[in-house]
A and B are shown apart, each in its own frame.
Chain A
């Protein structure tokens, strides 16, 4: 089983619908992240969380919200989806103990299409 699991893997929805992307991890890491990937733009940080009570905005948080339900779960919501939120979304984790040298561990991604 994957260490970082994202659901759904693919979703097609319509403008105005509420969408939730879920991420769960078995790595025991404190830190979790949501990134968005668009062709030619690399990955951009949406939100990140250092623990259940600590949520922080990233570079492109407008139009998104998150919930850290438990150490292992971090959900991304689009309250009213719009077409320019069509992208590939990645959840990632990292270990607080590796904060000075640490790598990110990524899920397989959730492809969202907003019509």
Chain B
């Protein structure tokens, strides 16, 4: 069964705007990761946030984690056409196995 539920399933914005994607999960986690997938390609790791962290930044990416609500958000600021992709959250239950459980993804389209 899927651990993560992502919202929205699809998002279309204008270049330069900010994009926010949300992820909810069901069980306790060790960390939560966000991945990007260009159409038909492999997934690429973007950022990881540990369960004891609340916010993390990497370039134009900002991730928040609320373990009490079992939710996370990914903010991409000043979006570019090249940011068009699908974005997936993935939770690591922390059993040492790195058995990531993926959400169904958000399809982001940046319009020029």
Contact = CB atoms under 8 A, between A and B. Distances in A.
On whether the two chains bind one another, the answer is yes
Interface of A: 4, 31, 33, 35, 40-45, 48, 50, 56, 58-59, 88, 90, 92, 94, 98-109, 111
Interface of A is mostly: strand
Contacts of B43: 43, 90, 92, 104, 106
Interface residues of B, number: 29
A92 B35 CA distance: 13
B88 A109 contact: no
Given A31-B98, A45-B99, A101-B31, A109 B40 contact: yes
Given A48-B99, A99-B98, A104-B98, A41 B104 contact: yes
B28 to A, nearest CB: 14
A26 B41 CA distance: 19
Given A41-B2, A42-B103, A42-B105, A94 B98 contact: yes
